[in-house]
A and B are shown apart, each in its own frame.
Chain A
Amino acid sequence: MKSIIRNGRVVDPKNKIDKKVDVLIENGKIAKIGESSQFRPGDVTRSTVTIDAQGKVVTPGLIDMHTHLREPGREDEETIASGTRAAAQGGFTSICCMPNTEPVIDSVSGVKFILATASQEGVVNVYPIGSITKGQKGEELAEIGKMRIAGIVGISDDGKPVMNAQIMRRTLEYAKMFNLPIISHCEDLNLSLDGVMNEGFTSTVLGLKGIPRQAEEIMVARDIALAELTGGKLHLAHITTRRSVELIRQAKKKKISVTCETAPHYFSLSEEDVRGYNTNTKVNPPLRTKDDIEALCEGLADGTIDCIASDHAPHLDEEKDLEYNIAPFGIIGLETMVPLILTNLVSKKILSLDQAIAKLTVNPANILGLEKGTLSIGSDADLTIIDLNLKKKIGSQFTSQSKNSPFIGMELGGFPVATIVGGKVVMKDGKLI
């Protein structure tokens, strides 16, 4: 099976490509990249499927390293099938799913379940993240080694922090053996207790209990110190504050093994957006201030922040349509991530297109140790085609089973128009194939 993508502007940060070239795909692998003139007659035959990417950008398949697929246990909110479809819609060819399902993925059988279901029903590549502790209870280490053999690409107790520093230390040491990144959710539960939004003037005016930024920063500092102590591979999930970025910047200068990610809502919305009590602004960590947004942009531009990941967290309407205090935290994000990055970072010249794509391709691939995120010859033919000029208003219909998004009604510019996994087109022009 051959296909060729013609006339697109190919942006491959790993291989430092940003030019108008064609891409030949054969048997699910990248066979050749070059200008049209460089192709021999035999390369393109009548049976070769041609995809015209005129005026569009062609990138390695995008990777979202932080999503919640809710299966097993909450198939009402999302399933591996619907979540991967949402990923395809959003332009992603590979996603990592977090283990805080019901039951928690803390053993080989759980990992096998995810992989089996994904291979049968998933539309894009799914890489499971295993939990750090059994049941994510924060008490005993899970069988990390066995899970690694079964196929996890990282470990996390995401949804919760590992409050016990000793356990975090042991994890960093132990996981080092398997070259597994530990994805840490940084939150001091005693400081954040019952809080529902960022602590500050807005929380005072709205009468909502605040989560002080120190709840995140203290744990970021702690985890960095433990990474320094152990040499383990630390990755900090959803960074949101100026000081967190600064701590990571300093740690990297000292060559401590730490990487981090942020989510699009943290540089697109602020605590001001909580006014009106729309529960689709309720996320953990919470939306912060405009100054933090500036710091995140600086961190993204200077490379302190390595990746952008959605933290896609589906919830049902009935669950979100409640009083702000009791509504669950979390919003979906797979289908809005690319347009938010293009509108709020690339168009605003905070990141170049190449830098932005790196945050979604080569960088997460490196952290997770995946041979993805590039268009090198011989690599898997995972590609995303993006139309930078496509402007759309985000509607209330999503491919995801849930609709809890604060971006409904927002007009954004730059959307993926095709998603190709292993050479197969799984999404074209906004429709799943």
Chain B
Amino acid sequence: MVSRKKKVIMDGKEISWTIKRMAHEIVEKSYGIKDLVIVGIQTRGVYLAKRIAREIGSIEKKEVPVGSLDITLYRDDVDSIAHQPLVKETRIPFDITGKKVILVDDVLFAGRTVRAALDELIDFGRPRVIRLAVLIDRGLRELPIQPDFVGKTYPTSKKELVCVNLKEVDGEDSVVLREE
């Protein structure tokens, strides 16, 4: 599937400010960082989670635990695992029971990934509350799932692709709109 670049939705600077703002929002809504943990969804959600955790750490001068979740085994489309058959790391090195979990992903679209992440998370324990933080909400939901913390809302059509690039993986920070 060949796609071509249409537009840059966010550049590196915007991403940096947005993450700072989101970090503040999270601390605000959570009444501080007591019992707060951050879990990123593989792959880019994990890097975003780490960045958010770092920001929170510099705000509150205290570290927040970060975990990673690979949802491949919980997807609802096992028959079509061909694109991502390899299961990446799920590492939650802390107990999540009773905690306030911030689930982080890069793009929120149909909501199926988040649904899978919720199922997997609950197999690890019983959090007090789970809140969702995403960098981009591109609309077109297929499940009743809404984010609590949004970097940017950007309505799109089904023919478009929203690609988040992060320095850690892609060499640069940007959010790009592409068309098939």
A–B: direct contact at CB < 8 Å: no
- By a beta-carbon cutoff of 8 Å, the part of chain B in contact with chain A is none
- By a beta-carbon cutoff of 8 Å, the part of chain A in contact with chain B is none
